Amino acid sequence: MNAIRLIWDRFEEGFIVFLLAAMTLVTFVYVILNNLYTLFYVAGEYFSERSEGASEFFYGIGDFVLDIVQSMTWSNALTKALFAWLIFFGLAYGVRIGGHIGVDALVKLASRPTQRLIAIVACLFSLGYAGLLTVASFEWISTLMNAAIGADDLGQFGVKQWHIGAIVPIGFALVFIRFMEILVRILRNEQVDLGLADEAADAMKLTETEDSKS
């Protein structure tokens, strides 16, 4: 069981890295190409009065690069799709590492048993929210599957809208699982809160680190 959990955790981290890398690469290539063809046009214009052959050569490369840029209308749509997958897949990862911000200043003033009780209630609400959105989004995706509508600018590659939207029920299902794990740990007295991020504590640690360096 621990091996399966370790494999999943590594896959989760690797998949997020892949999404970030793919978004960056697609955007980088499009921006570079979108600014590259002008350089060849400038070079072609420069050689227009000096060497007709060189001028046509540079203009030809500029036209070739421009054709590629104009055919990359899909790049923006792909970046948006990857970003959507990053958001909804990252929801569960944020719960796992305590990346979501917790507003619990008043809760921490209560006794430990009270904090544990509040955490259980909050966890149950979170489970209800994640479960409700999982079911609702699954019904939405089922409708899109039946409609079989192509995704904007990606339909030419056979990508359907439901292919992109499928991450919504998957993401909330993973969030449900992560909160269920938290609930189990709370019931086992392994933790007393949801393990969310504490900005005040992080700021204090950062201040202490900077003071120690100075």
Mean pLDDT of 14-26: 94
pLDDT at 101: 67
Mean pLDDT of 123-136: 94
Mean pLDDT of 137-158: 90
List the single range of 45-49, 57-61, 67-71, 138-142 with lowest mean pLDDT. Answer: 45-49
124/63 Cα distance (integer angstroms) = 60
Dump pLDDT digits (tens) for 174-183.
999 999 988 9
Between 89 and 9, name the one with better pLDDT.
89
78/74 Cα distance (integer angstroms) = 6
96/8 Cα distance (integer angstroms) = 12
pTM equals: 0.79
Is the pLDDT at 143 greater than 70, yes or no?
A: yes
- Cβ atoms of 144 and 211 within 8 Å: the answer is no
Residue 68's pLDDT band, with cuts at 50, 70 and 90, is confident
- Cβ atoms of 180 and 127 within 8 Å: the answer is yes
Dump pLDDT digits (tens) for 173-211.
999 999 998 899 888 888 877 776 555 455 455 455 555
Mean pLDDT of 24-31: 92
Between 212 and 61, name the one with better pLDDT.
61
Taking the domains of the chain in order of start, what are their residue ranges? Answer: 1-72, 75-84+97-214
pLDDT at 203: 47
Dump pLDDT digits (tens) for 74-111.
898 999 999 999 999 998 888 888 766 666 666 666 77
In DSSP terms, 197 is beta-bridged to 101
Average pLDDT score, the chain: 83
R_g of the chain computed on alpha carbons: 25
pLDDT at 66: 85
- How many helices (H) does the chain have, and how many strands (E)? 7, 0
